[in-house]
Amino acid sequence: MAYNAVETITRKRDGHRLDDDQIRWLIDAYVRGDILPEQMSALAMAIYFQGLDDGELATWTSAMIASGDRQDFAGLSRVAVDKHSTGGVGDKITLPLAPLVAACGAAVPQLSGRGLGHTGGTLDKMESIRGWRATLTDDEMRVQLDRLGAVICAAGPGLVPADKLLYALRDVTGTVEAIPLICSSIMSKKIAEGAAGLVLDVKVGSGAFMKTPERARELASRMVGLGQGAGVRTVALLTNMDTPLGLTVGNALEVAESVEVLAGGGPADVVELTLTLAREMVALARLDVDPADVLASGKAMDTWRAMVTAQGGDPDAPLPVSRHTAVICATASGYVTRLDALSVGVASWRLGAGRTRQSDKVQAGAGVTLHAKPGDRVSAGQPIMTLHTDTPDRFADAQAALTDAVTIGPRAPAPTPLVLDRIG
């Protein structure tokens, strides 16, 4: 049957289901350049409003996978398991998690991305380590996974090229938040990576794309369904992103905090989430080991150092430090009852830790150090944040983002759980 772009757009615009062959034709034609970007933009907006049912979404995702190469880790000496976070503020969990799960005996092929806007990117963090390189060949990645069990690197150009085109288009057409398009973007890449198991960390709250538990639960459920339907053992955790993770936001700052966790210290919330996700990944790999014991043994730190070194980095090199700092102090005495993740993320971005366009450069040392979080008692005039940047004219905009970021009250707030739900 012959299809055309306009008929496909109007069919979805009017709330009708797209045929499986129509979807496969559409993705293939778009990658080949036979469908104009403005036509795919119109279809993305139609999907934003009309959605895709589970059958459409499964076909859409498989068509995106078919647009490029697939990895196959079946020949490794370890079971490959992966983790994906939907992005947040201070979310450096991949850095301690990958070597920890590798030290438990699994293979962790962590294909990561760069930050955009207020959410940080794992590759930007790792590139603050002197000499570290993000680009590996498929053979280099397999050798490193077999030998060390962990790799953090950029996805190759052949992995789901349809997603690269669609992601760039969604970013400039107001359709980033469309749940079916988020699902297919994440899961096409994760299924194509070839891991046997996948843990999804779906962030919920002010600093996340999903602001409400209802939206996050829908996203998580649909991604788990896609993964399990493709034969990948998949679970999802909904985790709190109303408050930044840890005490640092910014690339080199977060690397330093991750190394603290691997050394047996670090903030309690970062340690808790690292161990929680590690236990899920180890269970999917069917390994009988407690990640807490492995972390305490120092083996995860050994794996981190070997992983960094294998990719050209120097784990002993000093991390970049910004030339200028500014301190924000508490305006009253009492308890911190709220610390808004989005505000802190935007401030870090404005200081130079993030980018507006993918081509922008980031400052490795820029960001925010937190000296107090919800539940902590503070006194008026006490430092609660330090801002870091190489360009001091950025301080005013960053401070403006933080105007209403902190609430101080007379009583400590009730503790908020870090993990809100588990799906799968």
Active site residue 170: yes
Contact 142, 76 (CB under 8 A): yes
Angle between helices 138-148 and 299-310 in degrees, nearest 10:
160
Q: Is 355 a catalytic residue?
A: no
Continuous segment of H or E residues that includes residue 235? strand 233-240
Annotated catalytic residue, options 118, 125, 142, 189: 189
> Is the distance from CB of 29 to CB of 35 less than 8 angstroms?
yes
- Say which of 82, 91, 124, 163 is annotated catalytic: 163
Please report, for residues 85, 220, 259, 322, the alpha-carbon distance to residue 183 in angstroms, rounded to integers and kept in the order given.
Answer: 12, 8, 31, 37
CA separation for the pair 151, 125 (Å, rounded): 14
**Active-site residue, 333 included:** no
Give the ranges where 311-352 is alpha helix by DSSP (H): 341-348
Structure tokens at 160: 């789901």
Q: How far apart are CA 203 and CA 277, in angstroms?
A: 13
DSSP string spanning 119-178? Answer: B--HHHHHTTSTT------HHHHHHHHHHHSEEEEEPPTTB-HHHHHHHHHHHTTT-TT-
Phi, psi torsion values for 115, nearest 5 degrees: -75, 155
Matching residue, tokens 């905009």: 397
Of the residues 11, 114, 170, 350, only one is catalytic, namely 170
Is the CB of residue 161 less than 8 Å from the CB of residue 185? no
Q: How far is CA 300 from the centre of its chain?
A: 21
Measured CA to CA, the distance from residue 216 to residue 227 in angstroms comes to 16
Amino acid at 46: A
Residue 189 annotated in active site: yes
* Spatial contact of 300 and 337, defined as CB atoms under 8 Å apart: no
* Identified catalytic residue from 67, 85, 128, 185: 185
Is residue 61 within 8 A of residue 183, CB to CB? The reply is yes
Tokens of 242: 């109303």
The tokens describing 2, both together, are 């012959």
Question: In terms of Cα–Cα distance, which of 343, 346, 356, 362 is closest to 252?
Answer: 362
The active-site residue out of 12, 83, 84, 217 is 84
Instruction: Please give the distance of CA 6 from its chain centroid, rounded to a whole number.
Output: 35
At position 11, the amino acid (one-letter code) is R
Residue 313 to residues 165, 231, 366, 379: CA-CA distances in angstroms? 31, 35, 20, 42
Positions marked catalytic:
84, 163, 170, 185, 189
